[in-house]
Amino acid sequence: PPAAYRTVCGVNGPLVVLDNVKFAQYAEIVTFTLPDGSSRSGQVLEVLGPKAIVQVFEGTSGIDAKQTTCEFTGDILRTPVSEDMLGRVFNGSAKPIDGGPAVMAEDFLDINGQPINPHGRIYPEEMIQTGISPIDVMNSIARGQKIPIFSAAGLPHNEIAAQICRQAGLVKKSKDVMDYHEDNFAIVFAAMGVSGRAEVAAAGGRPWHRAPTGSPRAQVNMETARFFKADFEENGSMENVCLFLNLANDPTIERIITPRLALTTAEFLAYQCEKHVLVILTDMSSYAEALREVGQGARGAAGPALRGSARPPRPGPQVSAAREEVPGRRGFPGYMYTDLATIYERAGRVEGRNGSITQIPILTMPNDDITHPIPDLTGFITEGQIYVDRQLHNRQIYPPINVLPSLSRLMKSAIGEGMTRKDHGDVSNQL
C-alpha cells in the first residue's frame, strides 16, 4: 500500500526533502496533499539513507513543512496517450488547455521511453522532400533523422519549421511519387518557455493561459504558440497536429518533462499507430537553461540536508547544483550532453514497425555564437544541422539558410538513382 509521511525537512525552489522515508525508489511518483486540500505531484530524484529528494512539478509554493502530507505511490511518471490527442492542445503536463474534453487514454507510457536495441534500428534511407531548395538539394533530410535548426533571436526559424510541416512529403522510388496521405502523417509540436499572452484557442475563443510573467530569456517568441496554431489551422492540418505548450510562467521543472511527454506521444503514434511523425521541439535553449536554472534555484535546500552522505554515481538533473557540485561550461550542468542525448536519440525507425520519428529541434544560439555549449553539444548528438544566417536575413533573402555551415550526415543514403535523381549528388557537389 502507498506510504504517507509528514516529514518534510526542507523546501527550496522545486525541491522538497523528506526525512525518515522507507523503501522510496528512484523516479517514484509522490503525491503532496496541502493544508487547503489541493494536491500536487512530484518525482523522487534521489534517495540517501532515510532522506529522499523530490522534485515538485507544479512548484512548492504553499507547501507547509508540518501540515503537508506526502504519499509515495510506488509508480513511475506515465502519461496517457491516444490517437485522439491529434488536433488537441495540452500544457506542459499533458493536460488539455483548449477547452475540450479529457482524452480517453489508450495506454499509459513511461515518459522516458523504452531503450531501443541498436540492432533493431533501421538506417534511414527515404528522403523527405520539404519544398525548400537549400534543404532538398544540398542538405536532404531522411525519414527518421534528427536534424536541428540553428538559429538566433529575430530570425525566421519558426516560419521555416512551419513551412517544412506544410510541405513535407516522402519521395518513393521516383521524384514524382509523393506520400501525402493524411492518415499516415502526424506532427507533434512542443514549445518550452513560450509566452501565454493573448493566445486563444479556436474552440470557443477560450484563453489558453493567464497573462505571462517570468524572465524574458525563458520565453520563446511572444507569438510562437499562436503562430504555429494559426498556421496549422489555415492549412487544414490541425487535425493531424498535437501541441504541447509549456508557458513562461509555468513551473520551470515542467519545462524539463515537456519534450519527453511530446516524444512519448510521438512514439505511440509511430510504433503503435504506424504513423510517420514529425516532432518539432522549440526552444531547446529554454530547455537547457531550465536544467541550469532549476538547480541554481534549489541551491541550499538539499545540499545541507545531504552533506556528508555517500553520493551515487549519477545524480538527477536538479540535484547537481543543490548538492553544490561543480557546474560545467557557462554554468550548465556537466551531464547536459547525456541529458540532451536522452531526447535526441528517441528519433529513428525500428525494425518491424512501419512508423518513424523525425526530429527537428529548434535552438536559438545566444549572441549568434555557434560555440555556445547548447549548439556545440547538440551538434555532437544530432545528424547535421540547418543553419539560419543573420546576414542573409538582413539582405531579405528567404529562407535565410546558409548552405555552407549546414549539413545533413544522412543525405548520402537518401539520394541517388532509384530514390531521387541519379545526378542528385553531383548537382549538390557542384553547387
- Segment 89-99, tens digit of pLDDT: 898 889 998 88
Name the segment(s) of the chain with CATH classification 3.40.50.12240.
Answer: 79-292+326-430
pLDDT band at residue 387 under the 50/70/90 scheme: very high
Q: What is the DSSP string of 123-137?
A: PP--EEE-S-HHHHH
Most confident stretch, 96-100, 174-178, 311-315: 96-100
Q: Report the pLDDT averaged over residues 109-124.
A: 89
DSSP string, 79-121: EEE-GGGTT-EEETTS-B-SS-PPP--SEEEETT--PPPGGGE
Sequence-ordered strand ranges (E) for 126-206: 127-129, 141-142, 149-151, 169-171, 178-179, 185-194
Its pTM surpasses 0.85: no
Q: What percent of the chain stands above pLDDT 70?
A: 82
The pLDDT of residue 295: 55
Which helix H or strand E contains 275, and what residues bound it? Answer: none
Burial class (CB in 10 A: 0-12, 13-18, 19+), 395: exposed
Report the greatest alpha carbon distance in the chain: 73
Give the Cα separation of 40 and 230 in Å (integer): 33
How far, in Å, CA of 332 to CA of 231, rounded?
A: 34
Tell me the C-alpha to C-alpha distance, in Å, between residue 187 and each of 88, 292, 314. 11, 29, 34
Integer Cα distance of 355 and 260 in angstroms: 19
Give the integer Cα–Cα distance in Å for 138 and 31.
51
Q: What is the number of alpha carbons within 13 Å of residue 86 lying toward its C-beta?
A: 22
Each residue of 401-413: pLDDT tens digit? 999 999 999 998 8
Q: Which pLDDT score is estimated for 262?
A: 96
- Does residue 212 register a pLDDT over 80? no
Fold assignment, 79-292+326-430: Rossmann fold (3.40.50)
Segment 368-386 shows an average pLDDT of 94
Residue from 27, 123, 8 nearest 65 by CA: 8
> Per-residue confidence at 72, pLDDT binned at 50, 70, 90?
very high
Q: What residues contact residue 407 under an 8 Å CB cut-off, 6+ apart?
A: 139, 384, 385
CB atoms near residue 402 (< 10 Å): 16
CA atoms within 13 A on the CB side of 306: 30
Residue that wins the pLDDT comparison between 313 and 121:
121
Residue 105 φ then ψ, to 5°: -75, 135
C-alpha cell at 388: 539560419
* Confidence check: pLDDT of 164 > 90: no
What is the pLDDT averaged over residues 18-43?
Answer: 90
Q: Residue 3: enclosing H or E segment and its boundaries?
A: strand 3-5
Tens of pLDDT, residue by residue over 223-243, are 677 787 788 888 877 888 999
- How many other C-beta atoms are found inside a 10 Å radius of the C-beta of residue 358? 25
- Euclidean distance between the first and final Cα of the chain, in Å? 67
How much is the pLDDT for 233?
A: 82
Could you give the 3-state DSSP secondary structure of residue 263? helix
| pLDDT over 50 (residue 68) | yes
- Round to whole Å and give the CA distance between 423 and 308: 65
- From residue 169, alpha-carbon distances to 184, 209, 392 in Å are 11, 34, 27
Q: Which residues of the chain form CATH 2.40.10.170?
A: 3-75
Q: Residue 404 has which C-alpha cell?
A: 555552407
**Which pLDDT score is estimated for 326?**
66
Give the Cα separation of 73 and 15 in Å (integer): 18
If one compares 92 and 386, the residue with the highest pLDDT of the two is 386
Task: Tell me the percentage of the chain whose pLDDT exceeds 90.
Answer: 39
Round the average pLDDT of the chain to a whole number and report it. Answer: 81
Average pLDDT over residues 173-184: 50
From 386, 185, 416, 152, select the one nearest 279 (Cα to Cα).
185
In terms of Cα–Cα distance, which of 6, 3, 5, 19 is closest to 302?
Answer: 19
Residue 310's pLDDT is 36
Yes or no: say if 56 and 70 are a contact pair by the CB < 8 Å rule.
no
Whether the predicted pLDDT of 214 surpasses 50: no
* pLDDT score, position 324: 53
DSSP tag of 389: P
Sheet containing strand 178-179, edge to edge, reads: 141-142, 127-129, 169-171, 178-179
d(CA 244, CA 37): 28
pLDDT score recorded for residue 277: 93
Fold of 3-75: Thrombin, subunit H (2.40.10)
Q: Are 126 and 350 in contact (CB under 8 A)?
A: no
Instruction: Indicate the SS3 state at residue 277.
Output: strand
Residue 183, preceding peptide bond in cis (omega within 30° of 0): no
| Average of per-residue pLDDT across 134-139 | 92
Q: Is the pLDDT reported for residue 218 higher than 60?
A: no
In this structure, are residues 150 and 191 in contact, taking their beta carbons and an 8 Å threshold? no
- 339 pLDDT band, cuts 50/70/90, is very high
- Measured from the Cβ of residue 406, the count of other Cβ atoms closer than 10 Å reads 20
